[in-house]
Structure formats: C-alpha cells, structure tokens
Amino acid sequence: MSINVNGSRPLGIFSIAMITAVSVDSVRNLPATALFGSSLIFFFILGALLFLLPCALVSAELSSTSTEPGGIYAWVKNAFGPQLGVFAIWLQWIENVIWYPTILSFVAGTIGFLISPALADSKVFLISVILVAFWGATVINLLGIKSSARFSNFCAVTGLLLPMTLIIALGVVWIFSGQPLQIQFSAHALLPRLSDSQVWVALTGIMLSFCGMEIATVHARDVQNPQRTYPRAMLLATLIIVVTLVCGALAIAMVLPEKQISLVAGIMQAFHAFFAVYHLTWILPLIALTLVIGGMGSVSNWIIAPTRGLLLAAQDGYLPKHFAYQNRFAAPKVLLIYQAVIVTVITLIFLLLPSINASYWFLTALSAQLYMMMYILMFACALRLRYRPADRRHGFQIPGGGWGIWVTGIVGIIGSSLTFVIGFIPPGNIETGGVFFYESLLVIGLLVMSTPPIIVYQWLKRLGNSAGERLENAAT
C-alpha cells in the first residue's frame, strides 16, 4: 500500500465516495422537493446530469491541481483576477449566510412540532430558536475550530444516516403493506409537462440539495490513482446522493397530501404519519433529537469554511484589514460576528412574507441563485485554467482531454444558468404574495447581497495605501 504526501494511506473509491456523499447529502430539503410529487424523480436525474456530476468533476480537478489554498477564492483569482476571486468567495459566503435561517428553521420546526404542532407555524417561536441556535454555534466556533470539529462530525453522521435510512425504510414498508399513496407512479405522473413553467420550479430546491461539492473535494489530493479512482468515486457518490434524496422525498410525498407539507416541519409530519399507523409515536422524540443534531451539525460544518476564504482575501489586502482579525483561538472573530448579525437581519424575512412556507422558499430561491452565480464562475475558471499549465501541478484531470473539460464546463454552466432563471418563478403551491412582490423581493435581495464586495473592492483601489497599490498591480 502506498502512502500519500501527508503520511497516511491514500483514499480509495468507496472512501472518497462516502466522504463526498455525507458532505452533500442532507434531509433538510426533502420537504421542499416532496411538494412536487413523483415528477421529482425526473428533475433529480436532470439535476444530477446538468449540475451534480459536472460540479463534482470540475471541483475535483481544481482542488487537486491548484497551487494555492483558499478553494473557490484561489481558483477564480488565478483565472480571472482578484476582483472576481473576492466576488466568488463572497457569493459562497453570503449564500451560506442566507441558508442558515432555512436549515435552522428546519431545526426549530422539528422542535416545535415535537412540543406542539402549532409551534411549527409560529414565526415568533421559529425566529427565537434560529437566533439562539446560530449565536450559540457562533460562540462555539469563536472558541476554535478544533473544539467544534468532533461535534460536527458526530452531528453529520447521527443526523443524516439514521433519519435518512429510517424514512426510506418506512416508505418501502408503506408501499409493500398496501397503505394508500398520496402520489401516483404512472408514466404521466413521472414525466411532467415540460411546457408548464410551474413544474420547473422543483429544480430550484433540487439544485440547492446538490450544492457543496466544491467543499467536499478537499481530499482530492489524497486519492490513490486519481485519474482512475476519482471519476468512479464521483459517479458512485452521485448515485448515492440522488437515490437517497429521491427516495427520502418520495417517502414524504407518499404519506402526506401536497397541501399539508410544511417546509420546516415536513420531516416530522411524515415520521408522525408513518409511526401513527404502526402505533409507534413514542419514537418521535428520538427522531426529533437526531434531526436537531443533524441540523446543528450542518451549521457547524459550514459556518467556518467560507469564512476562511474571506479571511484569506482580507489577509491578501482585497478586503478591509479588520476582516482579517483573529482571536487567540485563531478564529476569524470579526467575520463571525458580522455573519451572525447579518443572519439576525435576514431571519426577520420570516416576518415579511405571508407564510412560513413562503419565507422558507424565498430564502431557498435566493440562496440557490447566489450559489449558481458562484458555480458559473467556477465552471468558467476551470475552462481557463486547463490551458495554463504553468500555474498548475499534476493531479486529477477530467477524462477526455479538451473535449472532456469543455463538455463538462458548458453543461455545468447551462445547468447553473437554468436554475438561476427558474428561481424567479414563484411556486404555485405556496402563497408568496404575488408574482410582482416575489420577483421584486428576489431582485432586491440579489442586488443587496451581491454588490458589497464590488463596492469595497473599488473603494480599496482608490485608496493610496499598500492595499490599493496591491489591487492595482494584481489587476494589471
């Protein structure tokens, strides 16, 4: 057995596939995709082909051949310059900031459903739990990365594998026991009318379920025989992610009528419906505990990774100097505090929209659109960096030479662009306050969330200090 550069055994196909699957797979978006019934199978397969697999291959190539740390920030900076590099890492960071209230509303909805189902529809309760949970997670990360690493790993396994496996198993038992189904599996139901713009709305939630592959490829340099192992591992990981997400969403759709599915408490609604038939509702508190643990683990896993990228940009002089401040635990204190403050403001969105489901979907759509902008940059920079071998080192490359990278990159750009455009279509089965209100709120959200790094970058360029000079030199 060979040893990699870190002195450990290299990872094989199954190991890298499972690491990737656990990093991306999640139960949090199952209710949002369950709303679209059996047609979700078609869109999950389409999303895997147009986005998940291209994203896996491109991020694997970039992470294994990049000469600098920093992930998406370093990749885009090397390809298109520091301004777009800062813009890309900002998009990854701010997308997560918007995503935190949705995952924590899932946690709050789970807790509320367990105490009293009515609490899952209480905005005051949801907002209170979201803010307490996120500020608590921020404090944990301010105490250092190592202190939260084991907690995050435990949460990911306990809060993903157990509930995901259980809800899929319950769905299988439900079918074979002859229980009534709320959806159909006819050819007409499985193949949606693609001319109807409403059916495409499902792609927004599905694509967001697939996001995060660029974070999951941090082990790309530790793969044994990457040219052979990585494509097979990514194919296996893609199959695992798609199958588990499809089966989990279908299990919810089979047991709950579409109009009764809550985006924040849908998982608990489904478990309650399953266990009520089998007189096992006493298990619900244990299920709720695993879901809460999983949700908190997801937040803890993601709360620091994009922030580290912003920290590198600040240390390079492309963001205000105080962004680079770290406390004695080496945690980016200023960025973490700013992040918590922004999450607090965004959480108040729950007070603006007419329903909890509308608030959840709006934040989901805005988060997906911002993330798709980042992915378009990532796919584009992969195409450019393939032809700059002087800045790269040996590692995994997408098979097929020039054709392979161009097909993968273009398909990924098409999938990301399609998702961005579809995000402007309000779902017909959720009251969002009208098309104009929904789309106006999204446009305002996109402008407010995406322009700060551009403004700050241009402001620093106009300064006469060393940071401004560095920006000028980098741009030229």
Q: Given the structure tokens 């949606």, which residue do they identify?
A: 192
pTM of the model: 0.80
Q: Distance (Å, rounded) from C-alpha 161 to C-alpha 166?
A: 8
CA atoms within 13 A on the CB side of 240: 23
Q: Which residue has the higher pLDDT, 475 or 321?
A: 321
Q: Rounded to the nearest 5°, which phi and psi values hold at 164?
A: -65, -45
311-357 tens-digit pLDDT: 878 887 777 788 888 887 777 888 888 889 988 988 887 767 777 77
Alpha carbon distances (Å) from 33 to 143, 237, 309, 361: 36, 20, 30, 11
Domain residue extents for the chain: 13-475
pLDDT tops 50 at residue 7: no
Closest CA to 203 of 49, 93, 90, 94: 49
Closest CA to 296 of 101, 133, 95, 126: 133
Q: Distance (Å, rounded) from C-alpha 455 to C-alpha 476?
A: 19
Superfamily of domain 13-475: Amino acid/polyamine transporter I (1.20.1740.10)
377-386 tens-digit pLDDT: 999 999 998 8
Closest CA to 247 of 41, 106, 42, 52: 41
Closest CA to 357 of 252, 266, 257, 255: 266
Task: Please give the pLDDT value at position 214.
Answer: 75
Cβ atoms of 291 and 273 within 8 Å: the answer is no
